[in-house]
Chain A
Amino acid sequence: MTLILDLILRLAVWLLLAPLLPGIINKVKAWVACRRGPPVLQLYYDLAKLWRKGVVLSTLASPGFIAGPAVAWVALTGAAMLMPLGPAGSALSFRGDVLLLIYLLALARFCTAWAAMETGSAFEGMGAAREVSYAVLAEAAIIAAVLSLSVQTGSVSLVTMLSPSAGAGAVLLAAGLFTVLLAENCRVPFDDPNTHLELTMIHEVMVLDHSGPPLAAILHGASVKLLLFAVLLVQAVLPMGELPPLGVAGALAAGVLVVTVGVGLVESLLARLAFRRVPLLLTTAFLLCLFALLVAWKGGAK
């Protein structure tokens, strides 16, 4: 019984809080630009509206076009269930769960790319090609980051990997993971969620043809993914192990808020990179995580 209650509470936290993040980012951007901006809860209104709307399906699309977003949403939510939430731990923790989490994210990516290719549109092909190609570098960076956490704590399970205080390479890891967060969630400087030019987009262009409930699933899944990366970043970097449970929860929430505001600031202050520079920045993120790994390994963490 407690197990089910725990699962429901956890789902509620992840699913209900996630759409807050894009709202905060947009508010920060508006604030920097001295605009009033959309309300923080805008994504909730959008999701509610989309859920009630009808669907326009491309004449070329197969049932996979609707199954793709569903699978991606389940995969992302499942990944969120594996991610520990400070003192509450995770819904399910076992040895090697971190690898499953990475591959769940890959499953979501595969399904989004598959659904994008359903439409036969060159724009969506372009977006899918970019998404899967840049993921190669992002995945290398994530695995290097995970290795560094794993070497530092001597464990391959998320709960024990993320609970102790940060190691010597925390700053490197923070910079690397923050860059990966921007890339994986398609934020500036990798991608511009606000642009109206399909040629310059990655994620947004893949979902051009989606509408109604499938689009709601995609948007909600994207916000869960953003929250997931923010929680990972905060727990990997902040030394929270010694605090009392409430303090950890507070620190976690504050950390996620800081990361979100940081994304908003980056988005306001930086321009989107030219596409040929994207691999360079991702390689930099990978190198940062690699140096964090070297520090964890040879830096006398043990």
Chain B
Amino acid sequence: MTPGALLSLAAISLVAGLVSGLWFSRTWLAFTLAGAATGLGAALSVLLGATDWEWRSAFSLGGEFVHLRLDGVSAMFLALLCVVGGAGAVYAREYWSEEHYPASAPRGRCWWSALMLSMGLVLTISNGLHFLIAWELFAVSAFFLIRLDRQRPEVRAAGWLYLAASHAGTVCLFAFFSLLAARTGSWELGPMREQTALAPLFWIALAGFGVKAGVFPLHVWLPSAHANAPSHVSAIMSGVAIKMGVYGIVRFSGWLPVPHAAGWVVTGLGATSALLGIAFAFAQNDFKRLLAYCSVENVGIILIGVGAALLAVTHGDATWGRLALAGALLHVWNHGAFKALLFFGAGSVLHATGTREMSKLGGLWRTMPWTTGLFALGSIAVSGLPPLNGLVSEWLVYLGLFDAAVSGGPAAWAAMPAAIMLAMAGALAMASFAKAGAMIFLGAPRTQVAAHAHECGMGMRAPMLTLAGLCVVIGLAPILFWPVVARAVGSWRPAWVTMEAPVPLVTLGSVHAGLAVLVSAAAAWLWRMAHVNGLRRGLTWDCGYATPSARMQYTSASFGGIVSGWFRWVLQPERKMRRPRGHFPAEAIRLERVPETVLERILGPVSAVVIQASSSVRRLQHGRLQFYILYVVAGLIALGLLVLLGGAP
């Protein structure tokens, strides 16, 4: 079947899912999975084939003919959408089930289908006006999904914040597409790299898409929206929805000419996001917020790659630009897979315990062995450690940066600091996930809820296993994915296409496979040795202290204390402390919280000033009729005077 037929099948299935979701959860699941499978088929047939799919219809909407297109870049994002969307739909049936949430479960199913459909449209539409319509549909369906549990005030607040931020971005996109249409004379989108006059428009697009992608200073909506949304929604938001912003940046930096400074700015933004995002993540005590900030970091890694590619375009060096872009695009897939897996794991913990505070959990491995294992696997992947997929894409980005540094041109000034910041971000990511995994799953349960947790059912485990499988496959056989990535790179810059992998991905894959085998063998051997020699259980050796309590364990804030001290200048942690006093101290407290610094310390005061200024204007509106008549009369006289005195333009 052609991609067009598959895509229309996918659209029909998703619409059918949208309609049936209100009443029948099983039919909805069947339709959504069918939509995801056919969509994936369409994406793969474009990615593995040689030609793009394009369809111009005679049907017009809003005075513009419908024009759809699926090329390498959009097909990569579409494939990710279908995988995470399908996995999330399976997960949601158990996680957000009818019996627990009778009111919101049907709504959630409908908006899920709507979100998948609108994101699919954003990826395929090739007309500025229609793109804006699809973008708005996507933003609104995500908004309704985030506030599925709208009884809780913090969920409503997160939803409004998301909507406001998203629309601030949409305003930029309105400006971008209107200016583009005004300058080219048509709403049609497509490659127009030779019209150099369009280059400055890139900045508006970067701002607009940057908000959605959650680039560092524009990420204000992201942590609270990801933390408060139901976990399957967090998974698709983090795994796919923020990638729509990345898609916009990649798409329009590929189609339009870019300003000379673009590579520098995007690399700088990416490096800042990576380092500061993960510094915030490490300081969080709420595990879903930690995952959310980690998404800021990963978008940063992707943007480092895209920025390096833009630098390569400016300086005309395809060899390392290609590597960096390939790493960035592969990281889009990788981050989608392991972040969705981690959010599903977080949802499973939340489902079992009802708390997002890491300091109230602990010791869950006993009751939740599957979730523990899968979360640990996701942690290794997200920290970019061998032998999983995170390393493959980060390795490609690193190689691009190293080659740029070795080439010694002006791009080295950007590549070297970016490589160093990427290394620091990698070490911090490892620290953050050592902390998250340890606080949630290891040690002794810190509270009763943690002690009485239960494992999630097969309906939630299966999607996690699928995503974990994807992480392992990309990690062990990265060469299989090179053609796909190369195809997308070719759509971005046709001159850059190369089907032969320029780096030893086969070797990397076989080293990974060997490592995986040896690691399992060594673990099994050590386990056996321990049992052969005799294994005895005893109390943890706490410096000789024989009656430890669960509250004496290291907490998440103390684990992150050293690093949050280094980043105090940006984290601005709030401390509450009462030292023990006297010979028999009654109580002592030390609380530490990291606020949403950009939101509370910068945007908060600024908007307070704006509101104050506006409220002084509001004094004009007081409800007294005679004054309103006076305004009208004064206005008329002023107009009359203007006409009489010959102020005609």
Q: Which residues of B contact A151 (CB under 8 A)?
A: 405-406, 408, 412
Say yes or no: is A63 at the interface (Cβ < 8 Å to chain B): yes
The size class of the interface chain A forms with chain B is 35 or more
Out of A59, A64, A95, A125, which one reaches B554, CB within 8 Å?
Answer: A125
Q: Is the CB of A147 within 8 A of B529?
A: no
The stretch that binds B, out of A106-114, A226-234, A252-260, is A106-114
Say yes or no: is A40 at the interface (Cβ < 8 Å to chain B): no
Q: Is the CB of A69 within 8 A of B526?
A: yes
The size class of the interface chain B forms with chain A is 35 or more
Say yes or no: is B515 at the interface (Cβ < 8 Å to chain A): yes
Out of B437, B504, B519, B563, which one reaches A133, CB within 8 Å?
Answer: B563
Out of B434, B511, B530, which one reaches A92, CB within 8 Å?
Answer: B511
Given A64-B376, A110-B383, A144-B420: A58 in contact with B519 (beta carbons within 8 A)? no
Given A55-B535, A74-B519, A214-B526: A154 in contact with B540 (beta carbons within 8 A)? no
For the complex, give the distance between the alpha carbons of A73 and B519 in Å. Answer: 9
Q: Which residues of A contact B548 (CB under 8 A)?
A: 120-121
Q: Which residues of B contact A30 (CB under 8 A)?
A: none
Q: Which residues of A contact B562 (CB under 8 A)?
A: 129-130, 133-134
> Residue of A at shortest CB range from B514?
A78
Out of B438, B527, B538, B543, which one reaches A123, CB within 8 Å?
Answer: B543
Q: Is the CB of A293 within 8 A of B416?
A: yes
Given A122-B542, A129-B561: A74 in contact with B515 (beta carbons within 8 A)? yes
Q: Which residues of B contact A70 (CB under 8 A)?
A: 519, 522-523, 525-527
Say yes or no: is B638 at the interface (Cβ < 8 Å to chain A): no
Q: Which residues of B contact A109 (CB under 8 A)?
A: 430
CB distance from A201 to the nearest CB of B (A): 11
For the complex, give the distance between the alpha carbons of A53 and B541 in Å. Answer: 18
Q: Which residues of A contact B391 (CB under 8 A)?
A: 100, 103
For the complex, give the distance between the alpha carbons of A126 and B553 in Å. Answer: 10
Q: Is the CB of A66 within 8 A of B523?
A: yes
Given A156-B399, A213-B533: A60 in contact with B515 (beta carbons within 8 A)? no
Q: Is the CB of B424 within 8 A of A140?
A: yes
Within 8 A of A (CB), among B347-384: 362-363, 365-366, 372, 376, 379-380, 383-384
Say yes or no: is A12 at the interface (Cβ < 8 Å to chain B): no
Out of B406, B442, B539, which one reaches A62, CB within 8 Å?
Answer: B442
Say yes or no: is A118 at the interface (Cβ < 8 Å to chain B): yes
Q: Is the CB of A59 within 8 A of B539?
A: yes
Say yes or no: is A235 at the interface (Cβ < 8 Å to chain B): no
Q: Is the CB of A117 within 8 A of B442?
A: yes
Given A70-B525, A73-B522: A57 in contact with B408 (beta carbons within 8 A)? no
Q: Is the CB of B420 within 8 A of A121?
A: no
For the complex, give the distance between the alpha carbons of A107 and B395 in Å. Answer: 15
Most buried by B among A117, A135, A297: A117
Q: Is the CB of B522 within 8 A of A129?
A: no
> Residue of B at shortest CB range from A50?
B533
Q: Which residues of B contact A154 (CB under 8 A)?
A: 406
- Can you list 27 pairs linking A and B with CB atoms under 8 Å apart? A54-B534, A66-B526, A67-B526, A67-B527, A71-B519, A75-B386, A78-B511, A92-B507, A95-B504, A100-B391, A107-B380, A107-B386, A117-B443, A118-B443, A120-B443, A123-B542, A128-B438, A128-B559, A133-B563, A136-B424, A140-B424, A140-B427, A142-B423, A198-B543, A217-B522, A293-B416, A297-B416
Q: Please name 8 further chain A to chain B contacts, defined as beta carbons within 8 Å, in addition to the given A62-B366, A70-B527, sorted by A numbering.
A: A54-B535, A64-B365, A95-B399, A109-B430, A120-B553, A129-B558, A140-B427, A213-B529
Binding site for A on B (CB under 8 A): 362-363, 365-366, 372, 376, 379-380, 383-386, 391, 395, 398-399, 402-403, 405-406, 408, 412, 416, 419-420, 423-424, 426-428, 430-431, 433-435, 437-438, 442-444, 503-504, 507-508, 511, 515, 518-519, 522-523, 525-527, 529-530, 533-543, 548, 550, 552-554, 558-563, 566
